[in-house]
Chain A
Amino acid sequence: MNVSMSLSLPHGNRRELPGDLAMWFFILAELLVFGIFFLAYAFARTRNVELFNASQLELDKLSGAINTVLLISSSYFVVRAVDKIRHGLARACAHWLLAAMALGGAFLVVKLVEFADKFEAGISLSTNTFFMFYLGLGFFHFMHVVLGMVILGAVALKAWKGGYSAADHVGVETGASYWHMVDLVWIVLFPLIYVLR
């Protein structure tokens, strides 16, 4: 029984965790950090509702919505990529992953334009508590999109070179799980900071 020795749980049947166990530890830690920050935002707001509501009006809700659409769609593309590799279609898998990365790149561009706009208006981390959270959380999530794209890129490259097969593609699932986490976090972040008041 070599299975119990290994930290990586191979996919095999549907009852196993998709991707590497080590990545799931990392994902849980990430969710914990974001969760704490979300709640910090929500409860810091209770002590300063007017300030938060007034500052929130200055946000560009549309670009937030566009970014939601971009991330959700890229997550969907990643699902398609995993589906392709399960059928042994390595090249098609790489194509879907590249498409997902392109949407991730578009997310970064939209976000940069949004931030540039705010910086031009003279807004910084020290403007007030609302903008501290908006810029801080936004930047922290931004870095996760960047890391996610690096991971997807590495997986796509290996897939293109034929490093995965229908039988062995834990790496694809590992990268996919991380990317879905980045998406999941944004799905909560968007309504919390842009919409709810």
Chain B
Amino acid sequence: MKYKSQAVAKPYFIAAIALFIGQISFGLIMGWQYVVGDFLFPAIPFNVARMVHTNLLIVWLLFGFMGAAYYLIPEESERELYSPKLALAMFWIFLAAGTATILGYLFVPYATLAEMTGNNLLATMGREFLEQPLPTKVGIVIVALAMLFNLSMTVLKGRKTTINLVMLLGLWGLAIFFLFSFYNPANIVKDKFYWWWVVHLWVEGVWELIMGAMLAFVLIKVTGVDREVIEKWLYVIIAMALITGLIGMGHHYYWIGTPEYWLWWGSVFSALEPIPFFMMTVFAFNMVNRRRREHPNKAAVLWALGTGVMAFLGAGVWGFLHTLAPVNFYTHGSQITAAHGHMAFYGAYVMVVLTMISYTMPIMRGREANSPLAQVVEMWSFWLMTISIVFITLFLTAAGILQIWLQRIAEEPMSFMATQDQVSLFYWMREFTGFIFLTGLLLYVASFFIKGKPATAK
């Protein structure tokens, strides 16, 4: 570790992994409820489990991004973090707010929670992904602003590189788009329109900048390829990501009451959204093939390559499958969407955070790489989780195709619930695969506790 203050990333990463375990646990609960409807009723209703599953995902990824930023920005800026104390304080505030919110979801009826937390003052709750009570939302803004202040001051006073500028731009975008969670117009078309600006302009827009910057950072470190080459790729990738993502957003506007031209603009531009992801894959493999050094941390290289491939498959290919308006007319809101969501989030954002953790954690613990045994276990966890998510995606895709056929195309369409019964076999297989994913995740955690002599460069 070049700068002492980079160590503030460590608690962020630990919290991220802990919340990741929570997310997967609630995913398994929901997966079970899909096939055994009254499982854990009335303690954890399906809608609550779903809310916890998705909110934990977002929050732990945010922890991951923040940790990554606190590690990467000082190193790129070639100076200590502006205020490590502020970064640590924000960690505890964010963790406390996040935990309190999840406990609130689990132990207080949602309507009561809304009443208790001032939703009548400014109604922002009750929308998917934006379920957080008002104080939590305000807390997120404070944490984000404090982080941006801290990081911006560091960059302003230090070296400015493409990587830390892109990272900073992505994080600023993240914070700015979150502000739309406070905007809740009575007109339901407008409400829906701006609702997409929070999480979806993140994942299809500014998060791609964060992801590109993190990937570029790790690739420079593990391959030793010239910074100039990597930064040029980064420019082209983020330009493509922003153009396709910002207008491609139109694919969410098809059926919500917006003007018809979104059918065209959404279809064409979102169909091109795979391009930046494809370029990221080519980029990652190209850089690793041109490597000038053998980095002892083989696991980190594996994660970096995996991110490229899985992001392209999950976000790119599975997104393209149902993005064209004539196709989406049938597939909208079906299990196809769920299939895409799972592989895209895992392939793009989960994996890039794990790449960053895999590269930085050994360094923060005082060695360049973990012991060979620990790395082997980590690579096993990579394959278990990645193959599981591929199968979960395939099962959900199969369920989705059958669902669309029975419910929306067949001569005598079935009701939603009758259709769900018909596809339950796929839900069972998905749930089983989910447990394999959990095994992979537990192995991943275990790899942190395996001791041994650190691997060295050959």
Contact = CB atoms under 8 A, between A and B. Distances in A.
A22 B225 contact: no
Given A6-B229, A22-B236, A26-B239, A40 B264 contact: yes
A5 B225 contact: yes
A61 B290 CA distance: 53
B279 interface: yes
B275 A29 contact: yes
A25 B236 contact: yes
Contacts of B268: 33, 36-37, 40
A7 B232 contact: yes
B280 to A, nearest CB: 13
B283 to A, nearest CB: 10
A5 B226 contact: yes
B244 to A, nearest CB: 8
Contacts of A136: 261, 264-265
A13 interface: no
Given A8-B232, A33-B269, A125 B261 contact: yes
Contacts of A8: 232
B240 interface: yes
A22 B290 contact: no
B264 A32 contact: no
Interface string A159-194: 000000000000000000000000000000000000
Interface in B238-296: 239-240, 259-261, 264-265, 268-269, 271-272, 275, 279, 290
Q: Mostly helix, strand, loop or mixed at chain A's interface?
A: helix
A124 B271 CA distance: 25
A144 B279 CA distance: 22
A33 B271 CA distance: 10
A125 B225 CA distance: 47
A70 to B, nearest CB: 25
Contacts of B271: 36
B259 A125 contact: yes
Contacts of B228: 6
B391 interface: no
B269 A25 contact: no
Given A40-B264, A136-B264, A32 B259 contact: no
A22 B235 contact: yes
A26 B259 contact: no
A126 B229 contact: no
A17 interface: no
A5 B240 CA distance: 23
Q: Among the interface residues A22, A32, A37, which one has the most CB atoms of the partner chain B within 10 A?
A: A22
A132 interface: yes
Given A29-B240, A37-B268, A7 B275 contact: no
Given A29-B272, A33-B269, A125-B259, A7 B233 contact: yes
Nearest to A126: B259
Interface in B196-236: 225-226, 228-229, 232-233, 235-236
Nearest to A8: B232
A177 to B, nearest CB: 14
B389 to A, nearest CB: 29
Interface string A28-41: 01001100110010
A132 B352 CA distance: 39
B327 to A, nearest CB: 15
A25 B235 CA distance: 11
Given A26-B236, A26-B239, A26-B240, A132 B272 contact: no
A139 to B, nearest CB: 11
Nearest to A143: B243
Contact of B272 (A6, A25, A33, A125): A33
Interface string B354-393: 0000000000000000000000000000000000000000
Contacts of A25: 236, 279
A41 to B, nearest CB: 9
A8 B232 CA distance: 9
Given A33-B272, A132-B260, A22 B226 contact: no
A81 to B, nearest CB: 24
Given A29-B272, A36-B268, A40-B268, A126 B261 contact: yes
Contact of A5 (B235, B261, B275, B290): B290
A4 B268 CA distance: 35
A44 B398 CA distance: 32
A25 B286 CA distance: 15
B28 to A, nearest CB: 41
A143 to B, nearest CB: 10
Nearest to A33: B272
A8 B226 CA distance: 13
Nearest to B268: A36
A125 B263 CA distance: 12
A136 B279 CA distance: 27
24 contacts: A4-B290, A5-B226, A6-B226, A7-B233, A22-B232, A22-B235, A22-B236, A25-B236, A25-B279, A26-B236, A26-B239, A26-B240, A29-B275, A32-B272, A33-B268, A33-B272, A36-B268, A36-B271, A37-B268, A125-B259, A126-B259, A126-B261, A133-B264, A136-B265
Given A5-B229, A29-B272, 8 more contacts: A6-B229, A7-B229, A7-B233, A22-B236, A25-B279, A33-B268, A40-B268, A133-B264
Interface of A: 4-8, 20, 22, 25-26, 29, 32-33, 36-37, 40, 125-126, 132-133, 136
